[in-house]
Structure 1
Amino acid sequence: MAANRISGVFSARTEGSVGTGTTTRQSVQKTYWFAEEQNTGALEVQPLNSNNVPSGPKMTIERDKFLDNYHPEPEYYAEVVRPSMDALNGSIKRGEGHRANGESYSAEYEFGHAIDVDEENVRANFGLGLTYLERGETSRAEDVFRRLVGIEAIYEPQHKHLFNDFGINLRRNGMIEQALEYYHKAEEISKHDENLCLNIARAYYEKGSFDSCIKYIKKSLKLNPELEEGIMFWSYLKGIGYISEDEDNLRIDVDAFEKKQKKDGPIIDLEIDF
């Protein structure tokens, strides 16, 4: 981020009335926000929670309006908010390290601590959910899943890898309906993602809903006709009789693809996730 861009903690004051009738009096409420200037010049602001970390929905405010209504709080940021954010990120990093090393109970502790500080933290919730799924604890994973689907930030590009891991693990644990709910929520936000469409197709395949599976493979390949995993999946379904010659209207040169596979080696099979 450029040095002259606005970033840090700011306060805003809201005036209101307290009481009724002759006891009515004016009050001023002070709230704290974490703000970052975007490439457009507008400011993205997020409220601080009771643990002094940014949490919850973000808003975008035009620069002039922001400067008129928000006031810098550099000392509060340096002395309170930054240490709280560093401690939260430390817990998440330790949790991710424990999970990578197969230390699931230590990972659970760190992710749980992070969620106590920020209930809507995306990385912590993904980490805890993946930890439960890897242990086969589907009922506890279901609780995390319910919290995750209500956090819109999970669908932001920086979380794509975690998002995909979680969806794959939901499906592997037999939580097909949850995986589909999760993917369709993402589809509302990102309608033109060929990999997301392919993930939806795979979930429908495992559910046994082959019409829906074929629909989403088609959608994926229309978005990206050269998507090798999609071509492979289409070829597989056609080979086992789920796609008739009349339905095969994508004009995919499967023969050319299979020749390429023989030359380069297979890139995928249906035991490997798309």
Structure 2
Amino acid sequence: MNPDEPLTLGRPGKAKPHATGAPRRAAVPADVRVARISGAFSSQVVALVGTGTTRRKVVQKAFWFAEEAEPGPDGARTVLVQPLNNQNVPSGDKQPVPLPDFLHDYSPELEYYQAEVYPRMRELKETLTRAEKQRGQGALYSAQFEYESALGLDEQNVRANFGLGLTYLARGDTDKAGDIFKRLVALDAAFAPEHKHLFNEFGISLRKSGLTDQAVAYYARALEITEEDENLFYNIARAHFERGDEARCRENLGRALELAPHMEVALRFLEFLDKKAG
């Protein structure tokens, strides 16, 4: 969601609970325009705490940022819910919830969104914009300050972590960049398609900074949670070559060429290795 856009809800007010086993809502016709759900919502869970005579029911309320995904091939609607952290910023993994279940289990929190969530999301967006501008201009210490401010709002923010890591690498501070590397490989969201540009830039910077072991682990982690990609295998091959491991370099070039037999850079690299071997 662009935090500069207003909150929109699929329908006003809290949805009425649906009976167990009730039929699901039919897919919306393609020619009907439907408002997308986006904003702050809450869910409640009743839990039993204590034992014996002290046993009692407690209502636990959680707050979420919800944003409707693109409809599936069958037109089914799904909402992605993400926890709101103690800074009132969406943070952590997004979980898909079918629309009927979402309308049953989640309640809109319009006032909370307008007073707390929207301002914080806007602040985070503006901070990241300043950080990226500073890094692009080579003002690395100013960029570091802005990225750290962004991480103060959301320590799992992918753009901020990538940006801070790239800033450290540009300054030659490989120890701190290594700490960011450990954080990034633990974040599944770091390998999502929308962060592809930053992902590639960080991997290349790791390799060029001499952190080839980390570069190999970084790309291997990407292969664990994404579809096989010839570019990942090629980049792993490059990192192995710079580690002096030509056998694994060839192995990964072969994997890249299995997926893309006409990949020119991989073919040229393999030809170079053959000539080098005599």
Global fold match (TM > 0.5): yes
Answer with 129-138 or 72-81: which moved more: 72-81
Greater relative contact order structure (CA < 8 Å, 6+ sep): 2
- Partner amino acid, structure 2, of 1:60: P
Structure 1 CA distance for aligned equivalents of residues 38 and 123 of structure 2:
19
Structure 1 CA distance for aligned equivalents of residues 227 and 61 of structure 2:
39
Secondary structure of the 2:277 match is: coil
Q: Does 2:150 align with 1:119? A: no
Structure 1 CA distance for aligned equivalents of residues 238 and 226 of structure 2:
18
1:133 counterpart (169, 185, 188): 169
2:49 counterpart (12, 15, 18): 18
Quote the residue 1:9 is aligned against: 40
Supply the RMSD in Å over aligned alpha carbons. Answer: 1.3
1:221 counterpart (248, 257, 260): 257
2:229 counterpart (193, 199, 203): 193
Q: Which runs of 5+ in 2 are unaligned?
A: 2-32
Shift of 1:72: 0.9
Answer with 229-238 or 89-98: which moved more: 229-238
Q: How does 1:105-254 map to 2 (within 5 A)?
A: 105-241=141-277
Quote the residue 1:271 is aligned against: none
Q: Indicate the percent of aligned positions where both proteins have the same amino acid.
A: 48
Secondary structure of the 1:102 match is: coil
Secondary structure of the 1:216 match is: helix
1:102 counterpart (126, 132, 138): 138
Shift of 1:111: 0.2
1:87 counterpart (123, 134, 157): 123
Quote the residue 1:245 is aligned against: none
Provide the aligned length of Structure 1 versus Structure 2.
Answer: 242
Q: Which runs of 5+ in 1 are unaligned?
A: 243-274
Secondary structure of the 2:60 match is: strand
2:85 counterpart (30, 49, 52): 49
Quote the residue 2:23 is aligned against: none
Secondary structure of the 1:35 match is: strand
Q: Does 2:61 align with 1:30? A: yes
Answer with 16-25 or 229-238: which moved more: 16-25
1:6-39 Cα deviation digits (max 9, x unpaired): 1111100011123222122211111111111112
Secondary structure of the 1:43 match is: strand
Shift of 1:121: 0.2
Shift of 1:3: 5.5
Structure 2 CA distance for aligned equivalents of residues 138 and 6 of structure 1:
42
Answer with 37-46 or 96-105: which moved more: 37-46
1:72-113 Cα deviation digits (max 9, x unpaired): 112211221011001011111100000000000000000001
1:42-73 Cα deviation digits (max 9, x unpaired): 11110000000100121111111111100111
Shift of 1:226: 2.0
Contact 2:81/2:95 (<8 A) preserved: yes
Secondary structure of the 1:26 match is: strand
- Partner amino acid, structure 2, of 1:11: S
Structure 2 CA distance for aligned equivalents of residues 231 and 186 of structure 1:
23
Quote the residue 1:75 is aligned against: 111
